[in-house]
Amino acid sequence: MEVILTQDINGLGYKNDTVNVKPGYGRNYLIPQGFAIIANNSNAKKIAENIRQAAHKAAKLKNDAEELANKIGDLTLNIKTKAGESGKIFGAVTTVQIADALRVKGFDIDRKKIAISGDIKQLGEYKANIDLHKEVKKEISLVVEAD
């Protein structure tokens, strides 16, 4: 089943992308929740017109994302957390903590746009990816330290 996404969905695609999904997922979740519309000729024409009108706005968003990526540069975040003697931390470092650390540095980035591979449950150095725009991604370094 082909659907046109009406908003960005992590792991599936970005707004205005036409994607193939299983019929049940499309009919029972994406369309009723307003995340997608059926990909037919009339909807495709509407989306194409919307894309054409929003092209200059999209270019500005991409430029803003590139500027933010340049400002972030080679940023290394120090995240302090409680840890045991062996270096194992209590709980795990989450995207919420990373977003808070970025906010302290002056970057307001939504936690949903931050991805970490695996769980951070030990002290040490890690990498996190920030999805600033459809075409602009940024990798930052994390140093998890004992509090």
Report pTM: 0.64
| Chain centroid to CA 88 | 27
Q: Give tens-digit pLDDT for 26-85.
A: 999 999 999 999 999 999 999 898 888 888 888 888 899 999 889 888 888 999 999 988
Cβ atoms < 10 Å from Cβ of 130: 24
Round to whole Å and give the CA distance between 128 and 140.
Answer: 5
Summarize the confidence of residues 88-95 as an average pLDDT.
90
Q: Is 41 helix (H, G, I), strand (E, B) or coil?
A: helix
pLDDT for the residue numbered 55: 84
Maximal CA-CA distance, the chain: 63
Band of residue 7 on the pLDDT scale cut at 50, 70, 90:
very high
Nearest to 119, CA basis, from 88, 140, 85: 88
Q: What is the DSSP letter of 29?
A: I
pLDDT for the residue numbered 125: 92
